[in-house]
Structure 1
């Protein structure tokens, strides 16, 4: 079955992405994790990786094209034969809402992962009619892998809310409108529910020609029925239990074992609503057998994300501090503070103590405790034995601009420089982040480098 390669939303206010270059050609054999293309947003350039094995075929967008978020740009198929076919012309994937709506900037459901078709709106942080700033959190969205806060991206007023909380919405659907002027009457409504299969149209007995509407899920989320206990129910092929981080956190706080949902056949991935299912399962047997530990464990698969960011924002801030404040500030101090803040935000570790280790190629310079909460020019040194949450490696003093790092104990953020551009690399494995958290961390760090004054004042 072909696997679609879509244009992901690498930023919260992103409507399109610029394909900088294709790193693979049509017909090439592809492995999961291979970098397929470089995509540029207004903040950074990032590599987009393949999410399936196969052959790259049916490429519908070229380097230099601006492609709407959620649009299919290629396929990964079982054979290379489709590569010879003439690709269809791409069509915009943003689903415009119907009805009389106020003018303004459309806010779409972002694609936070390459395999994401829909996003579940967990909660709206603003209500229709409220004033919003570009950096205000507008809503929370849950995908198969994480719960993330989505910023407004524009200043103005929330003139229309076009989907309910707890409603699953297809990627690319317009779910809100932000207007420049305060609306005379703000609009709140649900996204259109999907029509029942085989149901006749209410408009006409004969459907009008044209593209089929993109279905959405009704705002009323049905309760899952727990199937009878099955001895063959299990997690995925690798033995993992698939659940969003919020679900895992709540299950841990409440002492709930997600393996019971697997055993009872509740479909994965698990979301917060699935925790209600525990009420129907009754008490867990005291004599429940423990799963034996595997005799051997495979080493974690190394994962890698790369980005580029113009260095003029960081350089300008350092020059301003020297001229106006007579403060000699090293770039590494900015990296230390910004990386910690971005890590805390991406992984929802607001109350945790974070220890950051810094160094160069082959050397460790120091360890610092919560550098985002100490003086910028004098971060607090750490002399304890807490494992580091992150290792920052400075490559700017060497001719090397990027290295795939070893990642035994902590994720490694490498920062190199190529003329007026920072080259940012994150090496990690699934025990450190999920894919969405890793992208959010790299994006957040790059955004801070691009505009230091905005995040420090």
Structure 2
């Protein structure tokens, strides 16, 4: 006996959902209540649970696919013998090309029961794989927030950033210089370089103590160090730091330096940040010089055994002295993480 897993309606006006990540793979045993996947809607990212016991026998939509509400995206079978391999990107592309154009699906009510074949789109695409027709692929939430902020997603496509775009990519878009603007007229930029050993060891220890994923732990440490450094030079009572990394959901922290590294929790809302930290340590980039956005931007990249950090801000947000003092304090904490605990 097979149980269809459909793209759920997590909101009254939701038409599609973007599959952020599969928590289970074909062949895995599942129980009712187990988290199968993470889905992003126009409102938030949600975890979708299995509704039946069995084995995940088929996955019909890849990570990165935007699927209409009500379509079948996976199958749970009673027997492990029914397991089918997940569709490859090439198979998904061929299936999409061979499928006749269908009329728009009607809006679904919550908990829909429709059973149709999913239409997976390509997952994160390299610049050479961008749609030839100029279409920009983005999650519903990213499209909505881009419209609200007056941001043009096509600028990311023209710059070669891989699609589909998610909320985290809006931070990159916000930091891009305005079209036709001078490259560095209205910004200040400073850069520093420190050994990475102490920071890496500190994050590894904290991940083991808190039992939190290492990449999330690193983001928490960066947020805490950045908040403490900014607070020291501005005297601000409240500091909101947003940590963004390519292909990951941004996480926003309210006063992370005051909460304590083992008790930090990301905000469920999206307050306007006082500082944006771009964590590029898992990329091939060795440094980044982003045009100053509406808030100061701090980038952290890896160059061999060293961390390269840079801080950019408009003069009306941080003057020369404050910019230098803030980055120097931040770099010092990366080099000697235990300073943060003093």
Above 0.5 in TM-score?
no
Tell me the TM-score normalized by structure 2. Answer: 0.42
TM-score (norm 1): 0.32
Which structure has the greater CA radius of gyration? 1
